[in-house]
Amino acid sequence: MTMANKVAVIGSGSWGTGVTRLLSPHVREVVVWSHEPEVARGINENRRNPHQLRDYEIEPNVCATTDLAAAVCDADAIVLAVPSPYLRATCKGLVGYVGDELPILVLTKGVEHGTGCLMADVVEQELGGAGRIAVLSGPNHAEEISQGTISAAVIASTSVPLAEYFRDLLVCPVFRVYVSEDVRGIEICGAEKNVIAIACGIAAASGAGDNTLAVLMTRGLAEISRVAVALGADPITCMGLAGMGDLVATCTSRHSRNRSFGEAFARGESLEEYERRTGMVVEGAQATTSILELALEKDIEVPITLAVNAVLFEGIPVSQAIDVLLGRRSIEEFYGVIPSHVSEQSQRRDA
């Protein structure tokens, strides 16, 4: 059933391309904006993105343009799918072309360097209207979305009707969508899981076994939960699709650029070399420094993020970072996640 006449997808990377498969059954026209003319030509002339998801034949009702104003003109909704370093500049470019009430769905994941802003905050600051902004996260590799494999996601907004609107624009028999009001929780999960995935990639390429990777993912989930709780999010969000679901997918999948970058880095390839070779932005690399800045400001313990930052940007050997992590004193498993009075009650029962 057609629900909208036109939806603009801003960004032609793998997610921007993949999400068109979900939108196209519900929308008369999906317009993808790309800053690369060859990508727009490839979509319009060959039904292929020449840079990402090359094997995916794009649906007939999807077209592309390099004209940002034309992309959003008369759109019923906008989907933002640009890399996090470019989100603010892209939103600035949309000012004057986007109405005050136009629904916006943010697929971008990350924490802005220097400001500590989450992606929905960036969009609100530049385009206004928190109530018309929703975010999506979950275990959704674009490669598998484009192939029609079974997937699921959660959409969060302070406006439940808005989240439900975007749910209905995306849901299909092989893509389940759930609704939440915990915008901050969803965003923190989506940003920090990329950092943990880099750690898993480095560990795997350094010879770590399954036990080690399971420890990294589990303690990584605890780290994500501490940040989420400190920012006022619901810790249960971290147990769901945007938290544990996306964490497992990102830390284990061959499609994960963050996991594969960690592996490449451990083998001697730099961040710049990896991004140049793959043509993709490693979101977790920037998120590492941004989350660390946020954690230091709010006095949140993030030992895995600290270790990844030291290895990537301070030249610390992987072996030294591992020694630092293993040298930490073991304390209560869920510290910083469970309220202190609940933890004290639990300890008294166990005594």
119 and 205 co-located in one domain: no
125 and 210 assigned to the same domain: no
97 Cβ partners below 8 Å, 6+ apart?
A: 68, 69, 72, 73
Domain termination residue (choose one: 129, 160, 181):
181
Instruction: Read off the CATH number of the domain in which 53 is found.
Output: 3.40.50.720
**Torsional sign, CA 147, 153, 157, 162:** positive
Residue 162, domain extent: 4-181
135 and 170 share one domain? yes
Residues 174 and 188 in one domain: no
Same domain? 13 vs 44: yes
Q: pLDDT band for position 38 (50/70/90)?
A: very high
Do 150 and 263 share a domain, yes or no?
no
- Write the pLDDT tens digit of every residue in 182-194: 999 999 999 999 9
Residues involved in catalysis: 193
Predicted local confidence at residue 199, as pLDDT:
95
- 35 in any annotated domain: yes
| Residue given tokens 């030249």 in the structure block | 315
Q: In this structure, are 148 and 208 located in the same domain? A: no
Which of 137, 164, 181 is the last residue before a domain boundary? 181
Q: Where are the alpha helices (DSSP H) in the chain?
A: 14-23, 37-41, 68-72, 87-94, 119-127, 142-147, 160-170, 183-205, 210-230, 246-252, 257-266, 271-278, 283-298, 303-313, 318-326, 340-350
Instruction: Judge whether 345 lies within some domain.
Output: no
- Check which CATH number belongs to the domain holding 206 and give it: 1.10.1040.10
**Per-residue pLDDT, 314:** 93
Asked if residue 288 has pLDDT above 90, the reply is yes
Residue 349 domain flag: no
Q: How many structural domains does the chain have?
A: 2
Decide if 126 contacts 95 (C-beta within 8 A): yes
Q: Same structural domain for residues 190 and 315?
A: yes
pLDDT of 210-265, one tens digit each? 999 999 999 999 999 999 999 999 999 999 999 999 999 999 998 899 999 999 99
